[in-house]
Each structure stands twice: as structure tokens, then as C-alpha cells.
Structure 1
Amino acid sequence: MSRARKNVVWIGIPSILLLGIGLFVLASHRGASQDHAAAQPALVAAEVIAVTRQPFPVVDEVPGTVAARQHAEISPKVMSHIEAIYVREGDRVTKGQLLARLEGKDIAVSVQQASAGVQNAEAAYAQAKTAYAMQRTQSAVAVAQAQAALEQAKAQLAKAKQGPRPEQVRQAEEQEARAKAGYEQALAYLDLAKEGARTQQKQQAAQAVIAAQGQVAQVEAGLSAAKANLTTVQNDYARIKALYEQDIMPKQKLDHVTAQLEAARSGVRQAEAGVKAAEAGLQMAKAQASLVNEGARSQEITAAEKQVAQAKASYEQAKQEAAMAKQGGRWEDVKTAEEGVRQAEQAVRAAKAAQARDEVSEKDIARAAAGIAMAKAERARAGTMLGYTNIYAPFSGVVTARRADPGTMAMPQMPILVIDDDAHYQLVSNVPESIAARLATGTAARVVLPSLNATVDARIVEVVPSASTAARTLTVKANLPRIPGVQSGLFGRLQVTTAEELRLMAPRAAIRERNGLTGLYRVDADGQARYTLVTLGKAAGDRVQVLSGLDDGQRIVAHIVDGLADGVRVHEEGAGR
């Protein structure tokens, strides 16, 4: 190499070094300028808040099933073949609508039999009342006749002791005639009871009633006259007795008026006995007329025979009394009359005892009335059973199942139709007993129906007070509002707030998703935004729970704004909550 070339080389190397140093210095100057620019971050205006622990509702969620509030599995109350079913699945029905009919011919026959039983019971009751009325009438007549006979016996005894007087003879003859007429009437009544009545006898019976009524009026008039005479004699007796006590009137006059007073009293007694006898005759005439018109039974014939015997005895006694009145009183007549009084008193007691036995007939009437009540109850029961052959809708709704067809034998406890009230639904959940213990009727809740993408407010209406020993759960029911498309069997979730806890909360607007990560901007002590990764929990309204990444009291940007990035300075616009 030549010396000149070597000089050129040595001169170029330093030049290159100087050029490189100059470029390095220039680059260093530019880098310093850029570092200075980077040291001055951008400024963003945003709302800054401090995150704190705030009350957060603790919501428990349990699964449940949608069910109609009213659900009916309809089964018949009687066993019979199905005659017709008028609805199918999906048909809407209204309350009281006829759904099905069962065969009811056998039950209808039972209703007819029960109705006939009521008629028979009513007929037996009417017969018992008629028999009782006749027995009472006959007993009353027997008592009246016995009492009349007793009065006659007493009057006869008085006559036997006092001797005859013209008016007593006349009264005795009249009493004998009445007794004879009663005896003949009793015989006619007995013949009529045994043989039955003809048209002429019916007319005679009616006339006999009229005649008996006239006889009653006549003897009542005689009784009034006898009472008036007794009043007069009593006045005379009182006046003469007062004069006798003053030694003005002799004792012979007092004895005479005393005998007149006793005779007047006897006359009243005889007249009263006559009235009773006439009234008994009237009752007998009426009974005879009733017998003529209605016919007799065996007990009526027996009663008629007893009346003949009593009438005959009264007639014989009246004849004896009339004879005694005409002949005058003897010692043996007095004894006979006294015996007659004793026998008449026994007859009265016997008649009254027989009348007391009428209570048996009263019990027969009571039993007959009870028979009517039983027959009517049986008829009502049969009618109710017949009504069970028609099956009606218990409420308005929709038929969800039909489990039988016409011709099938339907039995109680075997449903043939199922109806749901599709206007009102509820969610039924089996809630753990630890949660159910904090629930009560009226507690607010929320129901989530995933299949309908619906979340609705609800309210608990029932907490069944019986826990499942196997699952340790209680049944809880919450009524649902009207939701389009809801039906029985849908899955749902019951959400209930059972408590509140303090949780670290942040606004939802402060959250930013970046590269699949969740974070927010924390503002440090220098006022710069720092993107911080956090773990979120459940949300409540516009707030969300922060499980990790932040501490209580740290400041964050309340909501994302344009230009917000990691490291930028944040100008606080205001303090949040």
C-alpha cells in the first residue's frame, strides 16, 4: 500500500468516529426530550367515589313447580256406569257446568220406593190420630156416663132416705125415659157397628144427632130452672134460719125449709147428671153418625158393646130409681141405693183408669210421626244419591285430564276428570327448614320462570306447618300474577330475601371488561387511574358486590368516561356515595 493511501485511511477513521459521536449525542437529546414528554400524563375528568361496605340483601333461591291454585280431581260419589262425558282435555268449563252423567235407574227406583214409604208413614199417622180421637171420645163418653150414673145413684139414695115427692117422681120418670132412649141408642149403635149402615140409617143417625142436641138444650134448660129454684130455696132458708135464731120462727118451719133445700140440691144434682147424660148421648150420636158414614173396626164394636152394657145398667138403675120414687123409701131400698152409689163410684174410677190408658195411643201417634220423619229422611237420602249421578264443575277452569269414557264403571275415589283453575297460579316450593323458619305469610318474594324468560314479583300466601322428615323441607306457596303462557308443571325458582349483610359494593357503571378480564379503575394517591382486576359477586340494582381486588375505603372512578386509561391523571368532578 502506498504512503498516500495510508494517510487517507487514518484521516477517515477519526471522521467516522466523530460523526457517530454526534449522532449519539443527537439521539440522546431526542430521547431525553421524549422521556420528558412521557413524564407528563394526560388529564381526564371523572367522578371519583370511595368504595365502602354497604347493606346487601341475602337472597336464598329454591326450585319450585307452577301449580294451579285450585286443582280438582273429580270422582263420583256413587258407583255406577258412566252414561256420558261432555268434555275433553283442553275444554274450558264454567262453575256448575254439567261434566258427566252416570246411570241412575236403580237409584231412581230407590227414590220412588222412599216416596211410597213416606206416603205409607203419613197414612199410618193419620190412622193413629183417628183411632186416638175416637178412643178419647169413647173414653170421655164412658167417664161422663159413669159420672151421670153416680149422680143418679146419689139422687136415688137421697130419694130412698127422704121418700117420694111429686116433682121427684116426675124427674125419675124423665130420667128413666132418657136412660131407656140411651140404651136403645147404644143397641142401635152396636147393630150399626156390626152390620154396617144403609142410607136410611145414615139419615136416622143424622136425625139422632139433631135430637141429641135438642135433648142437651132441654136438660140444660132444666138445669137452669133447678139452679134458679135452688137459689130461691137458699134465700128462704137463710131468712127462716135468721128468724129461728131470733126465736121468731118455730123449728118445724126451719125443718120444712131444710127439707126443701135438700130436695132443691138433689134436683140440681139430678139436672146436672141429666146434662152429662145428654151430652154423653150427643157424643154417642156423633160417634154413631161417624160410624155410619165411615164404617166400623173391631175395636169400635168392642167399645159399642161396652157402651150398651153401661147404658143398660143406667137404664136398670133409672127404672129402680123411678120405682123407688113412686113407692117410697124402705130400709132395704136405702141399702140398695147405697150399694148402687158404691158401684157407680167404682164405675167412675174404672172409666177414668181406662181414659188414662189413652196415653198408649199418644205414644202410637208419636211413633207414627217418627216414622214419617224417618221415611222423609230416607227419601231425601235417595234423592241426594240420585243427584250424585250428575257431576258438575266445582269451579271455572280448564280440563287437564280425562281418565274415563262412557260405559266405564265409575267408583268413588277414582277420578274421571281433572280440572285446573287456569286464571290463578302459584309456585310451590320445598324450602329447607332453615330458610322456611324466616318466612311467613305475606313475605315478599320474586319468582323466576326460565322457560318464559320472566321474573315477576310474588308474595308468599302459605307456609304448610308440617315438615318432611326425610328432606327436612317445608312446602311454601307463592301466588303468581297473570303471566302469558304460564301453566301447571313449569319449572320456577323462588327467590326470597332472608337477611342483610355488609358487603363491599361498586357501581356497575365502573366495571370494564378487557381481554376477557373484569376490572375497574382505581385512583391512587397521585391521582392516576390504575386498571385493577376484581372478582365480582351478586348484583343488587345498579350495584355489584366486589369479592376481591379492592379494599374498603379505596377510591375508584364511578363510571367509565372517554379517554380513561391506565396511568392517566383523573380530575375529580365530585364525590360519590
Structure 2
Amino acid sequence: MKRNGILALVFIVIIGALMAVSTVRKPKPPAATTQQIWKESGVPVETSVVTRGDMYEFVQITGDLSALNSAVASPKISGRLMSISIHEGDRVSKGQVVAVLDQGDALSGLESAQASLESAKARLAQAIANAEVTKTQTHTAIEQAQATLRSTQAKLEVAKKPSRSQERMVAENRVNSAKANLDKAEADYKRNDRLLKRGAISESSFDVVKTQYLVVQSDYKTAVEQLSLIEEGGRQEDISSAQAQVDVAKGQILDANANTSQNTVKQKEILVARAGVLQAQAAVDTARRQLENTYIRSSISGIVSSRTADPGQVVSPGYTLATIVDPGSVYFKAEISEKSLSQITRGQTVTVRIDAIPDLVFHGSVSEIYPSGSTSNRNFSVRISIAGASTKVKPGMSASGEILTGKVRNALLVPKDAVDDQEGTQSVFVVNNDKTVKRRIVSVIRTDRNYAQIGVPAAINVGDAVVTQGRKNVKDGSKIELSGVGASNVAN
């Protein structure tokens, strides 16, 4: 009995297993495809609304950043770099010392040049003093010789004419007076002589007149002799002696004048000494410049963009120690096609995006349009000034931008993502009231980052809902299902 029960149990298990196997092997119906699901419930899309608004006209540009005002800190002389006080990112001022070379030789050279200058100045002072002494001596000698000449000439004149003109006049007057007295005495003598012969006067009275006549005659002779002496002049020996003294004095003047050539010699010595001072001063100036050249200074105010040297290096003239850039002079050099060049003018607003700083948008303006373009790609360069450039903005970075060239008011606009372009034919999918879409051909005039301007007349109207996201999955007549944030933009 027990055995029969076990057999029945085994039979039941086998039957159950066979039923289970038959159930597993039964074919399942196939799963619905994406296309079947979209056909049933609609293609999931997001939409937006056709609107009117202002459309800004832009010219897209690309290029690199450069700097108008940048400088390289480099030495003017060779030497060992003792110190460099700047690092990348440091701000420096114009004229600031950024590095120093070894100054040992320069200091020694300056000290030697200064000592030579002091010696040259001393020689110049001595030459000037000697010239003054010589000038004084020659001037004094000339004056003394001239005075001696004048004195000897006066003596010569005296020797030639020992009597003065007043004495000659007195002598002449004396002769005239004596002659008058003689004439009177002679007349008295002759008259008394006749009276004596007649016996009219006594012998004694005649003797008185005769004696007086003789005295007057003697006075006259004396006066004549004195006048003769005055007219004759000095003695010849006195004149010869005085003339010899005059000749000696003239010779002294010649000698004194000849000695004035020493003044010229002394002046030349001053010129030589002064030239020595100038030469020594030039050597000092050169030594000071050599010392100054051991200081490497920044030629502009700006920020250190790179440092390429360290203390201990031996550097030569022109070696780049660091590069300094003025952030305010950084500009965007962009390329523009020749077709767009006619739309560009100075002062136009530009939006700039720098690839290395994607989270920041900079604003600028067109500051320069270069007059010639490239013959290879027919592009022209423009300079875009950047307002408020930060220290993050560095020359060499790549950038892109949009130049605002115009503005269209009340333009018919659709989201840029709504435009479908297939082989040059542009279209949008408009949502119908029955949640199907209709393909409408449009003409896109221009686009910006968000919108496309549609030319009128157009097959779409303000307020139409157009597919933005999911556009690639629909076609004319497709059923749609609104999903995502864009669903709220559908006009009911």
C-alpha cells in the first residue's frame, strides 16, 4: 500500500514537470517597437512658439588674443644673474627693478673712473692757475716796459730841449728888453759925447753916461748868449745817452710782448687739461651706465606673463628673463571674410568668448580694420579692443566673437533649433490642433545664438507652435506627444 502511494506521488511530479516544460516552450508575443509606440502614443517632442521681436545682425569671427603693449625683460650686458624678484602673475611698474646682475666689476670700474676724474680736475685747476700767473706777469712786464719807455722818451726830449718854452720866452723878452736899454744907453752916450766935445757937460758927467752904456751893452750880450743857449738845445752827449735809454726801453717792450706767447701756451695747456676732464667724465658716465646696466628694469607697467631665468645663470644681452604684458592693451585679432568686410565699421559692439575661459563673456568694440587681406583665403584682419580684461586673459589664447552689425525690428522669429535644413531646403514642423505636425517650408534670413529670422511672406504665423527638440524623429503628419520643459510653450 505504501509502495503504491509513492508511485502515485512520482507520477504526479512527472506530470507537473511535463506541464511546466510545455508552458516554458510556448512562444511569447513580440515586444512593440519604438516606431509602433510613437505611432500609437505619438513622438515625444518639445515645442516653442513663433514670435515677433528684434533680431540683431552679427558677423561671426574667430582669432587669437594679442597685446599691443608687451615687453621682454632682458639684460644689456653679459653677466651672472644674482637675483630675480618677479614671478608669473606678479604686477610690476614701469622702471621697477626685476633682476640684478653681478656688480663687482662694474663697481670697481666706477671707482677707478671717478679717481681718474678727480686727478684730471686737479690738473685743470693747476693749468688755470699757471695761466693766470703767467698772464699777470706778462701784463706787469709790459706795463713796466711801457712806463720805462715813456720816462726815457721824456728824458730824451729834455736832453734835446733842456729849456722849456716859457724859459725861451723869458729869454727872448730879456733880450728885447736889454736891446731897448742898449739903444737908449747908446743914444744917451752919443748925445753926451757931442755935448762933451762942445764943452756943455763935464768929463765926470760923461763918464757916468759912458759907464752906464757899457753896463747895458754887457747886459744885452749876456741876454743874447742865454737865448742862444736855449735855442741851441741840450748837449749832444746828453741827447745820445737819453736816446740809448729810449732804445733799451723799446727793447724791453718787445721782450715783454714776446713773452705774451706764454699766455697762448698756457691757454693750450688749459684746453688739454679740460679735454682730459671731459674724457674722464665720459669714462665715469660709461662706468655708471655699466653699473646701471646690471639692474634689469621693466619698460612698461603690467603683469608678468612668463619667467624664463633663475639666479646663478650666466646671461647675455637680449636673453629673455621674463615677459611682461599690459592687460589693458590685450586685444582680439580676428579674421573676417571679404564678403562680410563691408558690414564692419569702427566702433561696432563685439561679444567675445575665450576658449580657455568658457564661463566668462567679454565685451569690446572694433578699434581697427587692417587695410590689406590674405591672398590665400581672402580674409581680412580686424582689431577688437576688450573692455575690462582680467588677469586670466593672456596673449596667445584663441577666441571667437560676434560683431553687432545691425538690428531688425519686429522680425518673425522661430527658435533656432526648430529649423530643419535638408540639402539646402529649410523647414519647420508646425503642431496642429490634433497633435500632429505639418512640415512648412521657410526662408531663413539670418540667425543668432537662439533664434532664426524667417522671411515674409511665410507659411507660419505668430503663435504657431513649432517642434524644437525631437525634430529629427518626426515627419509630415507625425503624431506627437509633448514632453519636457518645452511642452508648456504650446499654444492651446
The two structures have a TM-score, normalised by structure 2, of 0.58
Structure 1 residue 83 and structure 2 residue 4: aligned? no
Spell out, residue by residue over 1:319-352, the C-alpha distance to the aligned partner (whole angstroms, 9 max, x if none).
xxxxxxxxx9421331342243244234324423
Find the aligned partners of 1:116 and 1:254 in 2 and give their Cα distance.
87
The letter for the 2-side match of 1:459 is S
* Alignment match, 1:71: 70
| Among 428, 447, 451, the residue aligned to 1:519 | 428
* Alignment match, 1:490: 397
Spell out, residue by residue over 1:396-454, the C-alpha distance to the aligned partner (whole angstroms, 9 max, x if none).
44433222222221111111112233465321235567867886654543323344154
How many residues of Structure 1 are paired with residues of Structure 2 in the alignment?
354
Aligned in 2, Cα 1:399/1:378: closer, same or farther, shift over 3 Å?
Answer: same
> Is the contact made by 1:510 and 1:520 (CA closer than 8 Å) also made in structure 2?
no
Shift of 1:100: 1.6
- What pairs up with 1:458-477 in 2 under 5 angstroms? 458-463=364-369, 476-477=382-383
Aligned in 2, Cα 1:67/1:534: closer, same or farther, shift over 3 Å?
Answer: same
* Alignment match, 2:269: 364
Aligned in 2, Cα 1:493/1:545: closer, same or farther, shift over 3 Å?
Answer: same
Spell out, residue by residue over 1:212-243, the C-alpha distance to the aligned partner (whole angstroms, 9 max, x if none).
xxxxxxxxxxxxxxxxxxxxx9xxx7xx99xx
The letter for the 2-side match of 1:486 is V
> Is the contact made by 1:80 and 1:103 (CA closer than 8 Å) also made in structure 2?
yes
* Alignment match, 2:139: 140
Shift of 1:76: 0.5
Structure 1 residue 478 and structure 2 residue 384: aligned? yes
Find the aligned partners of 1:463 and 1:346 in 2 and give their Cα distance.
89
* Alignment match, 2:485: none
* Alignment match, 2:441: 533
Q: Which has the higher strand share?
A: 2
> Is the contact made by 2:50 and 2:412 (CA closer than 8 Å) also made in structure 1?
no
> Is the contact made by 2:416 and 2:449 (CA closer than 8 Å) also made in structure 1?
no
* Alignment match, 1:373: 278
Shift of 1:513: 6.6
- What pairs up with 1:271-310 in 2 under 5 angstroms? none
Find the aligned partners of 1:62 and 1:415 in 2 and give their Cα distance.
33
* Alignment match, 2:207: none
* Alignment match, 2:105: 106
> Is the contact made by 2:66 and 2:330 (CA closer than 8 Å) also made in structure 1?
yes
Aligned in 2, Cα 1:504/1:386: closer, same or farther, shift over 3 Å?
Answer: same
Structure 1 residue 252 and structure 2 residue 180: aligned? no
Structure 1 residue 391 and structure 2 residue 300: aligned? no
The letter for the 2-side match of 1:389 is T
| Among 405, 429, 440, the residue aligned to 2:310 | 405
Find the aligned partners of 2:73 and 2:112 in 1 and give their Cα distance.
30
Equivalent residue of 1:461, what SS? strand
Aligned in 2, Cα 1:90/1:471: closer, same or farther, shift over 3 Å?
Answer: same
Aligned in 2, Cα 1:253/1:129: closer, same or farther, shift over 3 Å?
Answer: farther
Question: Percent sequence identity over matched residues?
Answer: 25
Find the aligned partners of 2:153 and 2:403 in 1 and give their Cα distance.
104
The letter for the 1-side match of 2:111 is Q
Shift of 1:386: 0.4
Spell out, residue by residue over 1:344-386, the C-alpha distance to the aligned partner (whole angstroms, 9 max, x if none).
2343244234326523423432343343233223212211220
The letter for the 2-side match of 1:557 is N
Equivalent residue of 1:65, what SS? strand
The letter for the 1-side match of 2:298 is A
> Is the contact made by 1:67 and 1:428 (CA closer than 8 Å) also made in structure 2?
yes
The letter for the 1-side match of 2:266 is S
The letter for the 2-side match of 1:252 is N
The letter for the 2-side match of 1:368 is A
* Alignment match, 1:558: 462
Structure 1 residue 419 and structure 2 residue 301: aligned? no
The letter for the 2-side match of 1:331 is Q
The letter for the 1-side match of 2:137 is Q
Unaligned runs of 5+ in 1: 1-45, 166-232, 256-327, 523-528, 567-577
Aligned in 2, Cα 1:467/1:374: closer, same or farther, shift over 3 Å?
Answer: farther
Aligned in 2, Cα 1:509/1:530: closer, same or farther, shift over 3 Å?
Answer: same
Find the aligned partners of 1:254 and 1:488 in 2 and give their Cα distance.
124
The letter for the 1-side match of 2:428 is G
Find the aligned partners of 2:93 and 2:104 in 1 and give their Cα distance.
28
The letter for the 1-side match of 2:461 is V
Find the aligned partners of 2:428 and 2:457 in 1 and give their Cα distance.
17
Shift of 1:479: 2.0
* Alignment match, 2:239: 334
Aligned in 2, Cα 1:443/1:339: closer, same or farther, shift over 3 Å?
Answer: farther
Spell out, residue by residue over 1:161-180, the C-alpha distance to the aligned partner (whole angstroms, 9 max, x if none).
23499xxxxxxxxxxxxxxx
Equivalent residue of 2:270, what SS? helix
Find the aligned partners of 1:374 and 1:254 in 2 and give their Cα distance.
83
Find the aligned partners of 1:330 and 1:390 in 2 and give their Cα distance.
92
Unaligned runs of 5+ in 2: 1-48, 177-232, 432-436, 467-476, 478-492
The two structures have a TM-score, normalised by structure 1, of 0.50
Find the aligned partners of 1:373 and 1:345 in 2 and give their Cα distance.
43
Q: Please tell me the root mean square deviation across aligned C-alpha atoms, in Å.
A: 4.8
> Is the contact made by 1:519 and 1:531 (CA closer than 8 Å) also made in structure 2?
yes
